[in-house]
Amino acid sequence: MRRIALAALLGLLLVGAADAAPEKPNILIIYVDDLGYGDLASFGHPVIETPHLDALAADGMTLTNYYAPSPLCSPSRAALLTGRHPYRTGIRSWIPGGSGIFLRNEETTLAELLRDVGYATALVGKWHLNSDLGSDDQPQPTDQGFDYFFGHNAYQIPTSRNPVNLFRGREPVGEQEGYIAALYVDDAVRWLDARDPEQPFLLMFSMAEPHTTFENPPEFNAQYADYTDGDIVPIPSGGDAPPMALLDPRGPGEYYANVTYMDHEIGRLLTAMRERDVYEDTVIVFASDNGPVTEDWRTWWEVNAHGSTGGLRGRKHGVYEGGIRVPAIARVPGVTDAGSRSGALIVGTDLFTTLVGIAGAKVPNDRDIDGIDVSAALSGDALQKRTLVWALEDADGPDFAIRRGYWKLLLDEALQPVALYDLETDPLELRDVASENANLVTEMVQVFRTRMRAIEADPLRPDLAAGRATGH
């Protein structure tokens, strides 16, 4: 396997003729919504077809030990864009409309850092880092480093077809005819065509799929008709009351179709990049924001979601592995070996630090950054042993987790130990070994409490009294 250091790659990219402008790689982040660890063919799903993401994995590196920063969307996105644990930013859970919670301007985003070193920046798709998209009272994507924004906030209304809640910049655009994934690909390609071709770009392509409530083009539903019971009747969101009469379990076919449709539209975007001769010079990172909604439905809008954790315990909204361990793929030209796999322990905050380095920008030194540069893992090397923590208040508990090497400890809301697992021998979290490792439990509890105290005392952390919420 090639062992090309990322620093060497950057040297090749940044060194040119004395009078030439430094060249920087383009960066594409594909962040999808609620995709499970087992939802892609390349991650072992026995039914769902995802040929384009399989091809991306064959052209890059599959990250088999990648974790979302949170088991919910808003905290995960805040952490990705800032490199900081979401509790530092005040984004502790999903952000309900009208809650007054938002990512503050005091935070420095990946888009801001890259824009400052010459990148054109765009976010196409989901934002969900404020409670009032388009408002002048809360920072918008274009206030936080993105030159261009077209997308939605929490979820698509009424479904993925003909959405009515999209914005361009601060302006609502009204009902858009078509399916949301295709609308976003078309817009992203228009932006690529309109930008200055001499300027490197950061495109964050943040898809709605496979978040409910979904609605698919008929040909994709037909592909999985054998997995669907009865006629397909979309379940709309955004109404005054839940559409209880429509909540009929119909099997996994629609979910399977939605993931395949997501993959199809990602393929369209990557094809468009190849046609414009930018694919080969683009760093591509694909990941899910959190674990999936499985058939363990907890709210009405989750009906007919059938995400797969690949056998991992738990689901979205929990700190068991199924809620935080998610599929991820990275392609860094000249660094990742085609078709390679890495089991290095990586978390979403690491994408911030690593991409800042790839772009030739500098990680802020005036605040605590939780992500590390994982370029060594991308070139096939091991990372040093590290400690990661997750936090999310959950009525069902447990609320907290800490991982040190292969050891993972779960804690309750009072920061008391719940269970200890050895993920090397028990990745499914089936056997609690806390009683056999009492000293280790005591040590990990202390490390977790110390880490969380530092996070809660972060000087940039806003007042969190605006409330806690659970849901989308």
The mean pLDDT of 21-49, rounded to a whole number, is 93
Indicate if the pLDDT at residue 5 is higher than 50: no
The mean pLDDT of 29-51, rounded to a whole number, is 98
pTM for this prediction: 0.93
Cβ(280)–Cβ(265) below 8 Å? no
State the helix-helix crossing angle for 6-14 and 348-358, rounded to 10 degrees.
40
CA 149, CA 230: separation in Å to the nearest integer?
39
Residue with tokens 């690593």: 354
Indicate if the pLDDT at residue 395 is higher than 90: no
Fold of 24-384: Alkaline Phosphatase, subunit A (3.40.720)
CA 84, CA 242: separation in Å to the nearest integer?
36
Which positions ≥6 away from 245 have C-beta within 8 Å?
none
Using only the alpha carbons of the chain, give its radius of gyration: 21
The mean pLDDT of 98-103, rounded to a whole number, is 96
The pLDDT of residue 472 is 52
Indicate if the pLDDT at residue 17 is higher than 70: no
CA 228, CA 233: separation in Å to the nearest integer?
11
- DSSP string covering 51-115: HHHHHHHHHSEEETTEE-SSSSHHHHHHHHHHSS-HHHHT--S---TTS-----TTS--HHHHHH
By CB atoms closer than 10 A (0-12, 13-18, 19+), residue 67 is buried
Indicate if the pLDDT at residue 467 is higher than 60: no
Cβ(313)–Cβ(430) below 8 Å? yes
CA 285 to the chain's CA centroid? 10
Bridging pattern class, strands 26-32 and 201-206: parallel
- Is the bond preceding residue 398 a cis peptide, omega within 30 degrees? yes
Confidence of residue 13 (pLDDT cuts 50, 70, 90): very low
Render pLDDT for 304-354 as a digit per residue (tens, 0 to 9): 999 999 999 999 999 999 999 999 999 999 999 999 999 999 999 999 999
Which part of the chain has CATH 3.40.720.10? Answer: 24-384
Which part of the chain has CATH 3.30.1120.10? Answer: 397-459
Confidence of residue 23 (pLDDT cuts 50, 70, 90): confident
Q: Is 324 helix (H, G, I), strand (E, B) or coil?
A: helix
CB atoms within 10 A of CB 12: 12
Bridging pattern class, strands 66-67 and 61-63: unpaired
Cβ(150)–Cβ(167) below 8 Å? yes
CA 428, CA 322: separation in Å to the nearest integer?
9
C-beta pairs of 293-297 under 8 Å, 24+ apart in sequence: 293/34, 293/212, 294/36, 294/322, 295/252
Q: Which amino acid type is present at position 150? A: F
CA 77, CA 33: separation in Å to the nearest integer?
10
- In order of 11, 219, 255, 258, 304, the CA distances from 232 in angstroms are 54, 13, 12, 13, 11
Render pLDDT for 218-245 as a digit per residue (tens, 0 to 9): 999 999 999 999 999 999 999 999 999 9
Render pLDDT for 424-456 as a digit per residue (tens, 0 to 9): 999 999 999 999 999 999 999 999 999 999 999
Class for domain 397-459, per CATH? alpha beta
CA 408, CA 444: separation in Å to the nearest integer?
9
